[in-house]
Every structure is written in structure tokens, then in C-alpha cells.
């Protein structure tokens, strides 16, 4: 087994095991030919982990599998208690179990929120560069997309980091109905602090803009960094809000599905749940419910161990690119690293194959399958996103290929 778990929940985790591989039916490996035009790139694009889920999750799933019956599933009281216990223990965020609403996933929950709380063609604000489904989930509901681009600012370590453009947000909020917040931020890795989130909440309260806070990366902060739930600042501001999240990023169970919304306001909760029920999506799968309960009951040590490994991989990448015309935006959260490749002088475009020199370099010269920055919005032009949640040996091989490719360029 990859991990031994003691009664106290402490564990010794093996992060050298590559549990995803070609032919296993995982998107990261088995869509390489479709996405990159070749099957042999090192896949560091999809935001899931190459490690196996921890044993306390896989053992719970195996035990449930042994029952042999997989009828319609319903979360029991222990499901909601496990979520409330996790939020309190990991984030000092105390929620009542009755405020938790099961959802099939974060993006579907956003779609439901947009449909339930905004009018047709309403303006919905996002903050690019940002997780690319934010763009389409707004458009797919027939709403008007409003972009409030993040700003680059010098960070305390001499590098760059993203900050919010509050002046522009104030102006845009006056005509908007909703803001989709990515907290922590993907792809830039910011763990927004209480002051920043408080300013967002105050602006949205003044203009009656509802905030949907995507906190799926909430457990994935680096040592010494704390995640601030939007809930900490929201209630005092008087803004309308709720949070959507899931255990999938933390425990590598995204393929099982399932998540939840935390909605303290009873009126908002009933309206959202009415939309959810109207879509006839159910309340989760047998295995999604099983995995969540096991993860949240027994996984208290896992995020810390995981992020210590991710931090080591982050540092190896930063060291490897130190003399290349590439600069990493040092993250505070997520297992993703945002690489500023503008210094390479290569053109970058989302769709035009004649204007994708940056992507072609990484794929054809370096043999690496990364996420092209431009898909996260125009501010991502010239960037690439790399997934650090893989064995260190994979990172080292990827960096050796990158360095060799640039030297031969």
C-alpha cells in the first residue's frame, strides 16, 4: 500500500507512485494525442494528481464495493457532520450541517446559481486569468460575461503576484448581478487574504452583487499560508453569497464526483435547492459519498504531507528555470505553478495554429503537455500552467527536457 494510517490520523505517504498511466482511462494521459497531437508528451496539464488517493479513501471504497449493491444513494447525517467537522478542524470555519447542500460538482453548482439568482442576459463578473470553465459556464446560461482582470504586482520575495483591481470592480459591480470568485486562485496560486476578500464583499454588498466563492483548492495551501474562507468576511458586509467546494482536488477523487455548497441564508438555500431539485441531479453517487466521508473523517494529516511534497517540486522547477527566460509566479496555494514565458519571445494564441509558437515549443521541442495560459483569458497570454502533483522524478525529467530544448532553440 502507498500509505499507513495510525489511529491518530497521522500517515507516512509515498508520493513516488505513479497511479495514473496510459490506458487507465484518465483524461490526463489518454487525451494527449487529441490535445497535443502526440502521445509521448509528459502530461502536466489536467489539475488532478498522479498519486493514488490515500489508503483511508481507497479502503473505504473497497469495503463499500464488497457490499455489491449500488442503488440510489442518499447522504446520511454522518455525511454532513463529516463536512462540518472538516471545515471546523482545517479552516476554523464553523457551519451548521443543515446549511450544507450536496451538488454534483463546483462548475455545475455555479451553473445552477447563475440560473437561480440572475436574470436573462445579466452581467456576471469573473477575474481572469482564471479557471477556464468560468467563461463558458456564464455564456452557457445566456448571461453577459464581464471581465475584471487581475493586476500583476511585485511581491515581497521580489517576484510577481496577482492582486485585484478594486477600482474597476467597483465600477463593473454597479451594473452586474453576480461575481464568480476563485478562492484560492487558479492559475495564479493566490490565497486571497481577509482584507482583499473584505473589499470584495463590501463592493458587492453596495451594489447587491451576489458572490459565489469557488473554494475547491481551500485545503491546498503551502506551509505557513492560511486559507481564508469568504464566509469570514461575507456576513459582516451584508452581501449575498455562498461557497461551493469539493474534496476532489485534495484527495484526488475528482473522477468520482460530488461536492457541496455551504449556504447559511435559508432563503438563498431554498431557492438554490429548488433549482438543483428541478434539474433532477440527485444527491450524489454511492462512491462519491463514501469517499467524502472517509476523506474528511481520516484525512487531517494528508493536506500537510501533500503540500510539503508539492513545495519541494515547486522549488525544483524554480531552480531549474532560474537561468531560462521563464519566471514562476510563486504560489501560496494549489498544486499548480503559473509560468511567465513572455521572455522567450514566442507568439501565443488560443486557436490559430500559425500563431502558437509557445505551445509548439513546449510540445514539439520539450515534449511537455502543459496548459496554455491563453485559455485562462487574455491576461494569460504568454504563460503556461504546470501541474506539480506528480512524483519528483517526473518533474526532474520534465525540467531536463525543457532545459535541453531551450539550449537547442
| 305-335: pLDDT as tens digits | 999 999 999 999 999 999 999 999 999 999 9
Assigned domain for 3 exists? no
* Residue ranges making up the domain that contains 308: 31-47+301-408
340: domain CATH number is 3.90.1150.10
335 and 310 Cβ atoms separated by less than 8 Å: yes
The whole-angstrom separation of Cα 246 and Cα 66 is 25
The pLDDT of residue 2 is: 36
The whole-angstrom separation of Cα 86 and Cα 80 is 10
114 and 178 Cβ atoms separated by less than 8 Å: yes
Assigned domain for 15 exists? no
Mean pLDDT of 167-195: 98
Whether 194 and 85 share a structural domain: yes
The pLDDT of residue 283 is: 85
What sign has the CA pseudo-torsion 367, 368, 369, 371? negative
Q: Give the CA-trace dihedral at 91, 96, 97, 101, to 10 degrees.
A: -80
Whether 330 and 235 share a structural domain: no
- What percent of the chain shows pLDDT beyond 90? 89
**pLDDT digit string, tens, across residues 36-93:** 999 999 999 999 999 999 999 999 999 999 999 999 999 999 999 999 999 999 999 9
Whether 325 and 199 share a structural domain: no
The whole-angstrom separation of Cα 26 and Cα 214 is 24
**pLDDT digit string, tens, across residues 350-388:** 556 556 899 999 999 999 999 999 999 999 999 999 999
Least confident of 19-23, 205-209, 224-228, 240-244: 19-23
pLDDT for 400 beyond 70:
yes
113 and 272 Cβ atoms separated by less than 8 Å: yes
The pLDDT of residue 7 is: 36
The pLDDT of residue 282 is: 81
Least confident of 95-104, 279-288, 309-318: 279-288
Q: In sequence order, which residues have a C-beta less than 8 Å from that of residue 310 and are 6 or more positions away?
A: 220, 222, 335, 388, 389
Which of 29, 24, 25, 33 has its CA nearest to residue 45?
29
The pLDDT of residue 41 is: 98
The pLDDT of residue 354 is: 57
Whether 278 and 293 share a structural domain: yes
Amino acid at each position: 500500500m502507498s500509505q499507513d494510517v495510525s489511529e491518530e490520523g497521522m500517515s507516512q505517504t509515498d508520493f513516488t507512485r505513479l497511479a495514473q498511466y496510459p490506458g487507465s482511462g484518465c483524461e490526463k494521459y489518454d487525451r494527449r494525442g487529441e490535445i497535443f497531437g502526440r502521445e509521448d508528451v509528459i502530461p502536466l496539464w489536467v489539475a488532478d494528481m498522479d498519486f493514488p488517493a490515500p489508503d483511508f479513501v481507497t479502503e473505504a471504497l473497497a469495503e463499500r464495493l464488497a457490499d455489491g449493491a449500488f442503488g440510489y444513494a442518499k447522504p446520511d447525517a454522518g455525511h454532513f457532520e463529516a463536512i462540518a467537522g472538516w471545515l471546523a478542524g482545517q479552516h476554523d470555519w464553523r457551519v451548521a450541517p443543515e446549511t450544507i447542500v450536496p451538488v454534483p460538482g463546483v462548475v455545475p453548482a455555479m451553473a445552477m446559481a447563475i440560473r437561480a439568482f440572475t436574470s436573462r442576459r445579466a452581467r456576471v463578473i469573473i477575474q481572469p486569468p482564471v479557471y477556464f470553465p468560468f467563461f463558458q459556464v456564464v455564456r452557457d446560461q445566456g448571461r453577459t460575461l464581464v471581465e475584471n482582470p487581475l493586476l500583476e504586482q511585485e511581491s515581497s520575495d521580489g517576484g510577481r503576484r496577482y492582486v485585484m483591481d478594486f477600482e474597476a470592480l467597483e465600477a463593473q459591480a454597479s451594473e452586474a448581478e453576480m461575481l464568480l470568485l476563485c478562492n484560492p486562485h487558479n492559475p495564479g496560486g493566490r490565497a486571497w487574504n481577509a482584507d482583499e476578500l473584505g473589499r470584495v464583499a463590501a463592493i458587492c454588498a453596495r451594489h447587491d452583487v451576489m458572490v459565489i466563492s469557488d473554494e475547491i483548492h481551500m485545503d491546498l495551501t503551502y506551509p505557513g499560508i492560511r486559507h481564508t474562507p469568504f464566509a469570514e468576511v461575507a456576513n459582516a458586509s451584508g452581501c449575498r453569497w455562498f461557497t461551493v467546494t469539493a474534496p476532489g482536488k485534495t484527495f484526488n477523487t475528482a473522477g468520482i464526483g460530488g461536492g457541496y455548497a455551504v449556504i447559511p441564508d435559508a432563503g438563498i438555500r431554498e431557492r438554490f435547492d429548488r433549482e438543483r431539485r428541478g434539474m433532477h441531479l440527485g444527491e450524489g453517487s454511492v462512491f462519491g459519498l463514501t469517499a467524502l466521508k472517509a476523506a474528511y473523517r481520516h484525512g487531517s494529516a494528508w493536506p500537510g504531507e501533500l503540500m510539503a511534497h508539492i513545495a519541494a517540486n515547486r522549488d525544483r522547477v524554480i531552480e531549474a528555470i532560474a537561468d531560462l527566460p521563464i519566471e514562476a509566479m510563486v504560489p501560496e496555494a494549489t498544486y499548480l505553478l503559473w509560468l511567465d514565458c513572455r521572455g522567450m519571445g514566442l507568439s501565443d494564441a488560443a486557436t490559430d495554429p500559425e500563431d502558437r509558437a509557445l505551445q509548439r515549443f513546449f510540445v514539439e521541442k520539450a515534449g511537455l503537455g502543459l496548459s496554455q495560459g491563453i485559455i485562462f483569458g487574455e491576461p494569460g497570454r504568454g504563460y503556461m500552467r504546470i501541474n506539480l502533483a506528480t512524483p519528483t522524478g517526473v518533474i526532474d525529467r520534465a525540467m531536463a527536457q525543457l532545459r535541453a530544448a531551450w539550449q537547442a532553440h
